[in-house]
Amino acid sequence: MMYSVGIDVGGTFTDVVAVDDDGRVTFAKAASTPSDPSVGVLVGLERLAEALDQEREVLLAQTRRIVHGTTVATNALLEGKGARVGLLTTEGHRDILEMREGYKNDRYNLRMAAPEPLVPRARRLGVHERVRADGSIEIQLNEQQLDGAIRQFSDDGVEAVAVCYLHSYANPAHEQVTGATVQRSFPDAYVTLSSEVLPQIKEYERLCTTIVNAYVGPALSNYLSQLEARLADAGYRGAVLIMQSHGGVAPISEARRLAAGAVLSGPAGGVAGCRYSGQQLGEDDLISFDMGGTSTDISMIIGGNPELATDRGVAGHSVALPSLDIATLGAGGGSIAHVDGGGLLHVGPESAGAEPGPACYGRGGTAPTVTDANLALGYIDPENFLGGRSRLDADAANAVIDELAAVLHVDRVAAADGILQVVNTQMAEGMRLVSVRRGIDPRGLVVVAFGGAAGLHVTELARRLGIERVVVPRVAAVLSAWGMLTTDLRHEVVQTHIGDAGRVAAADLREVFSRMEDAGRKRISEAFDGAVHVQRSLEMRYGEQVYEIGVTLDGLDLDAEDLMPQVVERFHQRHEDLYTYCLRGEEVVVVNARTAVVGETPALPQEPRQPEGAPTPPRTRRRVFLGEWREVDVFDFDGLVSAQQIDGPAVVESDITTALLRRGDQAQVTPFGWLDIRIARP
């Protein structure tokens, strides 16, 4: 028996999933180890092997591939713990990083401070050179000045060098010479070139993305080296693929080179799992709701496809690489509740994380969290946490909730319920904004809920938004790790190609796409020899606009004589879908051409269907607070039979997840053992 293994390292837990050749899914959890995440990975693999009744070495010997989502790059950026970076840029332009785009994210906030730049001005050095926008060289690269800058970086203890010259997307020659010189003179430095990271117009986005790549690159590269070494020592000889922000995977060599591409690695696995869940359900229009220990990630899947964005920001820094359009909220099981000076209750974005964790974990946490509130209200069984491997301390949870209640001048139940009301309001608003922002009414969508905490909150969120259907997969608590196994290898290529759409010749466009496809196929062939397909799109705008929108070319004949009129009409329609209007009489401009070369990995085997039979009776009853204290049935998630119906109020729990049905909710068990919940109207 051979296995495919998915690993998702989150802020609180490391999730590990194995799928065998018969489609059977086995999973395990281990506490994350922030100081060295690879330690938690190996512990997770040990527990996975125990669940399969094997030795870890035997499991790894029977594993054909490992797909891994990591938060190392994300955490380095969020926590400000990246590399010491030096920037080489065109002389006279080193302040682009602080000038940004000329406005603030919250442009009417007069007190809003600009984010601290990742590279201080003293380590941003100008080099005498100049490439014009058409790719011609106006000023040759001053290599003597370059050598002096490199020596200055070496003396200053620089660990990574970012190179971003003006218009290098049109001609990368100067950046290539600079990169080779830095690597020759400064071999220990991590070197990143903007012409390789983001070869497209818009200097701030290109500069900032290149710096982010240099900032997180050493940390991610070191971690991946540690992981490779630990897996090799444990007996693993197969491929390790790293989840990317755009929803595909890449080999370790590519992940090291383009480290910024893994900034949203973990959440991207959840979107992949949600999409695959939709395929199993026969549903194409979904809301992906992933509530973990530290944060909640929400995204949309419409027509079976998640949306990609190229304007993402992380911790105030632009990362303009293609990434799944995911909204992240500082709301998770470990989110800390606190009262401000005005007496208002807040939840998050601060989190107790994995260490020390919520107070009920018994690891020294002293602040009340969402998990503590769920425990205080009876939603979680303290004896069955992680399958009984870890017992929760209800007394500790009650104690920290009591401290908060004293500040609020209410009792324990009101304080715990208040925590959940606040965090549910935040998440419901996030879900509403994500859908309405794209012009979509959330009431017609199906919510796929996953992550360790999602099942406890999702029915209330759906009720607030008028959503009638929620699905909680059996693998909900580890769905991100499971979803990573459904992804393909993917390499994105972009080329700036500015021109009035009415004057862009179809033949020229075909030539651009052909070159990009060749480059993508060459890159992906280094780690893959299977079937490949290509996705093409253009980024377009009206002539006087600043930002572009993506327009897919899927389904269009690139050899058609009327190709560009068809593309322009698609742009108008896309603009109207997003912003409720279009301007068919206005000039339309093509800015960037994009090609995604996708290597199709083998599909997961179909999971065995659950047997039908007599409904499984409740395992026990438990006292929970639902506006008032009530005794409700508690069902074993893993023991349910296909087509079984459960009427709320009830609790359905497994070793690693719990779903709460409120009054009037009805859950039907699907053939795969998932909960398909119909939400009662308010």
Indicate the DSSP class of residue 369: B
Instruction: Assess if residue 134 is contained within a domain.
Output: yes
Total number of domains constituting the chain: 2
Kindly tell me if the per-residue pLDDT of 509 is higher than 80: yes
Structural domain ending residue among the three candidates 599, 631, 661: 599
Instruction: Assess if residue 357 is contained within a domain.
Output: no
Region 208-235: mean pLDDT is 93
Q: Which of 155-169, 315-329, 510-524, 608-622 has the highest mean pLDDT?
A: 155-169
Chain centre distance of CA 293: 15
Tokens read off for 354 = 């994995």
Instruction: Assess if residue 205 is contained within a domain.
Output: yes
The range of the structural domain enclosing residue 517 comes to 489-599
pLDDT of residue 1: 80
The dihedral of CA 112, 115, 120, 125: what is its sign?
negative
Structural domain ending residue among the three candidates 569, 599, 629: 599
pLDDT digits (tens, 9 = 90+) for 56-95: 999 999 999 999 998 888 878 877 889 999 999 999 999 9
pLDDT digits (tens, 9 = 90+) for 457-502: 999 999 999 999 999 998 888 888 998 998 889 999 999 987 888 8
Least confident among 249-253, 598-602, 626-630: 598-602
The count of residues in the chain is 682
pTM recorded for the entire structure? 0.85
Nearest to 623 by CA among 392, 381, 424, 369: 381
Return the SS3 of 437. coil
pLDDT digits (tens, 9 = 90+) for 22-50: 888 898 888 888 888 999 999 999 999 99
42 vs 234: CA distance, rounded Å:
9
pLDDT of residue 624: 95
Region 104-119: mean pLDDT is 79
pLDDT digits (tens, 9 = 90+) for 393-450: 999 999 999 999 999 999 999 999 999 999 999 999 999 888 887 778 899 899 999 9
Residue type, 560: A
CATH of the domain at 120: 3.40.1360
Q: Which residue has the tokens 């909204």?
A: 327
User: Largest alpha-carbon pair distance within the chain?
Assistant: 82
pLDDT digits (tens, 9 = 90+) for 235-287: 998 889 999 999 899 999 999 999 999 988 878 888 999 999 999 899 999 99
Tokens read off for 10 = 């989150």
SS3 track for 565-616:
HHHHHHHHHHHHHHHCCCCCCCCEEEEEEEEEEEECCCCCCCCCCCCECCCC
CATH of the domain at 550: 3.30.1490
E strands, 506-570, where?
532-542, 549-552
Q: Is-contact 90 125, C-beta < 8 A?
A: no
Instruction: Assess if residue 212 is contained within a domain.
Output: yes
pLDDT of residue 138: 95
Region 360-368: mean pLDDT is 90
Instruction: Assess if residue 240 is contained within a domain.
Output: no
664 vs 579: CA distance, rounded Å:
37
Instruction: Assess if residue 570 is contained within a domain.
Output: yes
Kindly tell me if the per-residue pLDDT of 323 is higher than 80: yes
Instruction: Assess if residue 414 is contained within a domain.
Output: no
Band of the pLDDT at 652, cuts 50, 70, 90? very high
- β-sheet bridge partners, residue 291: 296
pLDDT of residue 387: 60
Chain centre distance of CA 56: 28
Instruction: Assess if residue 430 is contained within a domain.
Output: no
DSSP string over 379-435:
-S-TTSGGGGTS---HHHHHHHHHHHHHHHTS-HHHHHHHHHHHHHHHHHHHHHHHH
Q: What is the mean pLDDT of the chain?
A: 90
